[in-house]
Amino acid sequence: MNDSNAIKAEIYTTSTCAACVFVKQRLERAGVPYSEIDAEDQENLAKLYELSASTTVPVTVFYKDNTIQTVIVGWNPQRFAQVLA
């Protein structure tokens, strides 16, 4: 698979987010590269709200071809299975 066409993810997290661990583990098992963004930083928190209309973490943003494909708020195994299928 061409890396530029591969699915990638960003995860908005906090230092106390237990569900964030599940998201990272799921992405690692699926072989999806991701970057972790600190939602405790005010600038990142503003971007998080812009993407999801929420300040709940985790928020996982999936990209394909550098375009947002899906935004998942929270840990939702069924939604992750759909996106990663």
Question: Is 85 a residue whose pLDDT tops 90?
Answer: no
Question: Is 4 a residue whose pLDDT tops 70?
Answer: no
Q: What is the pLDDT of residues 15-27, one digit of tens each?
A: 999 999 999 999 9
Q: Report the chain's mean pLDDT, rounded to a whole number.
A: 91
Q: What is the CATH number of the domain that holds 48?
A: 3.40.30.10
Question: How would you label 29-51 residue by residue, b for 16+ Cβ within 10 Å and e otherwise?
Answer: eeebebeebebeeeeebebbeee
Q: For the chain, what is the domain count?
A: 1
Domain of residue 44 covers 3-84
Q: Report residue 77's pLDDT band, with 50, 70 and 90 as the boundaries.
A: very high
Q: What is the pLDDT of residues 38-55, one digit of tens each?
A: 999 999 999 999 999 988
The amino acid at residue 61 is V
